[in-house]
Structure 1
Amino acid sequence: MKNKEIISKLPYSKPFLFVDEIIKIDENGVEGTFTFDEKLDFYKGHFENHPVTPGVILTETMAQIGLVCLGIFLLDNNFNKNTSIALTSTNIEFMKPVFPNEKVTVFSEKVYFRFGKLKCKVSMKNEFGVVVCSGEIAGMIV
């Protein structure tokens, strides 16, 4: 399955699509990017005059790239309109802020995929290669 095809199968659309590109993907993990446009609504009022990307959005970005894109790849032809990947747990540590117009890269490594559950170690780096957040995310295929 090609990277653009995986992105087209994501159950999200703008402004809630947080995947610009899949750089690489295989059965063990995925690497992808997203740039946080300064015009995104959640920046309005989130730290007035000094906007910062909310942690829940950083978590969602890691989940979309690191869990859902990988799940679609792993399911390959078994992923269809009736298939979803539901988030079941997160454990994320935040180290640095992400500001408007920053491009981030998400790295995900599969911990396991069995009995319909996918668990991954994820990290997000800024353009300088500095880890801004990392942890684990898991989801169920439904």
Structure 2
Amino acid sequence: MLGIKEIQEIIPHRHPFLLVDCIEEFEPGVRAVGYKCVTYNEPFFQGHFPAEPVMPGVLIIEALAQVGTVAILSLEENKGKIGYFGGIDKAKFKHKVIPGEMLKLECEIIKRKGPVGVGRAIATVDGKLAASAELTFMIG
């Protein structure tokens, strides 16, 4: 299991944009599974939405991308590099994510060619699908 300090050794994201609290399991270059404990103190809840706080879908996708980035940047040849978004395909949102929920984030790398690849990502809450997408990344 990787905690915040270990995650920050792999990816460059920092508070308030680090959206992964821990990595439960990962296989470098293949897949990673992590978690985000969604609390009411998240800065985005001040405006999204004050009367009914909902985690923005784009931030769920970003959290998924960060988990995928842990998997791909864990490869020896990618250490110290940055993963950039190249595209988001087939994104679907099925369950709103609210304060107090534990967001499980899974990303499996399904294609790689040189510095470009694709990850299949799903986010769940209590086993219910919250979001899914195919995420294209570029290593720089």
- Taking structure 2 as the reference length, the TM-score comes to 0.89
Query: Equivalents in 1 of 2:116, 2:77: separation in Å?
Result: 17
Q: Distance in 2 between matches of 1:100 and 1:6?
A: 23
- How far residue 3 of structure 1 moved from its aligned partner, in angstroms, is 3.4
Q: Are 2:94 and 1:76 equivalent residues in the alignment?
A: no
Moved over 4 A (4+): none
Q: When the two structures are superposed, what TM-score results if normalisation uses the length of structure 1?
A: 0.88
Distance 2:104 2:8 in 1: 15
**1:135 aligns to 2:133 (yes or no):** yes
In 2, Cα distance between the equivalents of 1:23 and 1:89?
Answer: 26
Partner SS state of residue 61, structure 1: helix
Measure the CA separation in 1 of the matches of 2:45 and 2:124: 20
Task: Give the residue type in structure 2 aligned to 1:45.
Answer: G
C-alpha separation between the residues in 2 aligned to 1:36 and 1:15? 13
Match of 1:125 in 2: 124
Q: Which amino acid aligns with 1:71?
A: I
Are 1:19 and 2:17 an aligned pair? no
Deviation at 1:56, TM superposition (A): 1.0
Structure 2 residue aligned with 1:101: 100
Structure 1, unaligned runs of 5 or more: none
Q: Secondary structure of 2:119's partner?
A: strand
Cα deviation for residue 6 of structure 1 reads 4.2
Residue deviations 1:82-121 (CA, integer Å, cap 9, x gap): x211111012110110001211111111111221112110
**What amino acid is the match of 1:20?**
D
